[in-house]
Chain A
Amino acid sequence: MTEPLLALDDLHTYFYTDNGVARAVDGVSFTVNAGETVGVVGESGCGKSVTALSILRLVRPPGRIEPESQIRFEGKDLMKLDERAMQQVRGNRIAMVFQEPMTALNPVFTVGDQIAEVARIHAGMSRRAAWQKAVEMLAAVGMPAPEQRASEYPHQLSGGMRQRVVIAMALVMNPALIIADEPTTALDVTIQAQILELLADLTKRLGTAVLLITHDLGVVAENCARVIVMYAGEVVEEADTSTLFSHAHHPYTEGLLGAMPRVGGEAERLATIPGTVPPPTAWPTGCRFRDRCRYAWDRCEREHPPLYQLEGQHVSRCHLAEEPERRAHPHPPLAAELGAA
């Protein structure tokens, strides 16, 4: 088997705050193959975005990627690169698309200028050639009247158009991997679909791998071949998309799927997962999900579950893998009881 494009091995990113050490990413390992679109899902605060920033080594103090972490990309260990070499990777081989197109563009420069900047830095293009490239890229992301739009400022564009600009910036150097951190969360539903379609279309054509970070399982279902579910700084389940949707194993994944609105479903209240993600300075011992879990039993408190191998590539961090009979006896989770009291 060929080496994957990106391989995270035991990634730990800790934040050393005044309130203690926040273990935002706590031993995450996964791979992304060339040209593949992989989804990363989970609630806010589960470590998705920090994982993304860690891959590009953009974590700022007091955050720190712990030295035992390995980030292998195109055969290199990114942890071992110096800052200058890392700048060569960012925007060139790995690009990032941010959540909020309103704020991801600098208000004082034209959008053409900002796209051109990437070409000038990484390809050493002249001002004129870079500008031509910017116009080309705007056309490629489906911007109407790209020549005029290039000389406009971000505040003159709508949210959807700005996200197109952000995608254009990410694609300038034809990177091997794009990390898209909630690329559509800030957009209208209709625009969301357009943007995702555009991203899928372009990356398929260019053979770019995508790490799609989202909390929207609908987005995952439509775009990703494989899904990684994160909870409390850990990977809790990983499977190909159809397996995950049909045979979700981890109770957290089950909860996420249950919380999805369905077309044609009965008009009842959406299910929720009781409680919230615990603070990263104090992850619970044993299973980190146990307070919110319908199946938790005494073993979950004592023993931190490893990633159990299920069928094929399907893995799950839940003791139910060894004691499946317990799934037959759900009970109200501790968090729900505490909430009711």
Chain B
Amino acid sequence: MPSLDARSQSFSALLLARTLRDPRSRVALVVLSVVVLAALFAPVLAPYDPSAQLDIVRLKSLAPSLAHPFGTDPYSRDVLSRVLYGARVSLSIAFAAVALSVSFGVLVGVVAGYVGGVVDAVLMRLVDAALAIPRLLLIIAVVALWGSVSVTALTILIAGVTWFAVSRLVRAETLTVRDRDYVVAARALGVSPWRIVLRHVLPNVVGPGIVSATLAVGSVILLEAGLSYLGIGVRPPTASWGSIIQDGAERVSDLWWLTVFPGLAIVITVFACNALGDALRDALDPRQLPLSVSEEFAQKT
């Protein structure tokens, strides 16, 4: 049977193949790879030290040129180098915060959904309450209490205000998976509750979690940029995309390169994340299952 091998692929491989078939996701993946590689190799790629004030008299506030492709800021720092190093800070905060928030959100969602009853009611009312407060406000309140925050603390803080939405989503998914026959069948076969949650529920609910994570990376980059712009995020002289924009915010009219280049970096990255998230979501949509799965059932039975 030649068709056997063609169909011999796991669910995740199938998902990946379908995601990659979408041109949006291919473009998005290329863009994201470039951004991530640029961040990883910032020390190699950056022409200057991002915090060095090169020559505060002669090299300050220069427009883009060959020597300084993104120009320099009023402290004579090279903006290209700052954007490259800023990518490290912005992206690591975004990825770490999202990883944290999705893990925690999935955990809470699965527990609430599978255990149900009082546990579910209490957890979800807490989440509802937290969702009712604008998250920027929540972060500002906490930062105001602590004074200044480190990058790690900022990451945890951002994760702390973004997991609610994930947990709601995953809970809803868990509720439908919980009563699927294969979960009942697993119980009927004497599988312990823990094993059921880990083996039979979790893998079937992470799909939406992954999609929301991809979409969340974009929004967390924006959130961090917003916080840094407001002066409560990353502290100078550390550069993040948001803090670079803040540095240039007051002089947008004459020193436009201070805001436009980090701004573009944010726009491109967020756009790529959202495009990838959309493509993943479409790939997970059962109504768009390709011939190889759904119609094959119909043809066989």
Contacts and interface: CB of A to CB of B under 8 A. Distances in A.
Interface of A: 56, 58, 61, 86-92, 95-96, 98-100, 102-110, 117-118, 121-122, 148, 151-153, 155-156, 158-159, 166, 169-170, 187-188
A92 B181 contact: no
Interface string B15-29: 000000000000000
A109 B201 CA distance: 12
Given A105-B182, A108-B203, A156 B188 contact: no
Contacts of B190: 86-92, 118, 121-122
Contacts of A110: 10
A96 B185 contact: yes
Contacts of A86: 190
Interface in B165-187: 180-182, 184-187
A98 B8 contact: no
B192 interface: yes
A172 to B, nearest CB: 9
B55 to A, nearest CB: 60
Given A104-B182, A105-B182, A159 B301 contact: yes
B154 to A, nearest CB: 35
B187 A58 contact: yes
A237 B136 CA distance: 68
A140 B192 CA distance: 27
A262 to B, nearest CB: 27
B257 to A, nearest CB: 49
Given A90-B189, A96-B185, 9 more contacts: A58-B188, A61-B116, A90-B188, A90-B190, A96-B189, A107-B11, A108-B12, A155-B11, A156-B7
Given A91-B191, A107-B204, A159 B300 contact: yes
A114 B290 CA distance: 25
A89 B203 CA distance: 26
Q: Which 7 A-B pairs give the minimum distances between C-beta atoms? A: A91-B189, A90-B190, A91-B190, A103-B181, A96-B188, A104-B181, A108-B203
Interface in B1-50: 4, 7-8, 10-12
B181 A188 contact: no
A180 to B, nearest CB: 12
B235 interface: no
B188 A100 contact: no
Contact of B181 (A100, A117, A148): A100
A90 B181 contact: no
A61 B189 contact: no
A109 B199 contact: yes
Interface string B120-136: 00000000000000000
B206 to A, nearest CB: 9
A94 B294 CA distance: 33
Nearest to B186: A106
13 contacts: A61-B116, A87-B191, A88-B190, A90-B187, A91-B190, A96-B185, A103-B181, A105-B182, A106-B186, A106-B203, A107-B11, A108-B12, A156-B8
A98 B301 contact: no
Interface in B284-301: 293, 296-297, 300-301
A149 to B, nearest CB: 10
B187 to A, nearest CB: 6
Interface string B261-301: 00000000000000000000000000000000100110011
Contacts of A102: 297
Contact of B185 (A92, A104, A155, A158): A104
A153 B8 CA distance: 8
B184 A169 contact: no
Contacts of B184: 58, 98
B237 interface: no
B117 interface: yes
A169 B189 contact: yes
Contacts of B293: 155
A89 B301 CA distance: 34
A91 B192 CA distance: 11
B117 A61 contact: yes
Given A153-B11, A159-B300, A166-B185, A117 B191 contact: yes
B68 interface: no
A121 B293 CA distance: 31
Contacts of A155: 11, 293, 296-297
Given A100-B181, A104-B181, A153 B10 contact: yes
A95 B185 CA distance: 9
B60 interface: no
Given A58-B187, A107-B204, A108-B204, A158 B301 contact: yes
Contacts of B180: 103
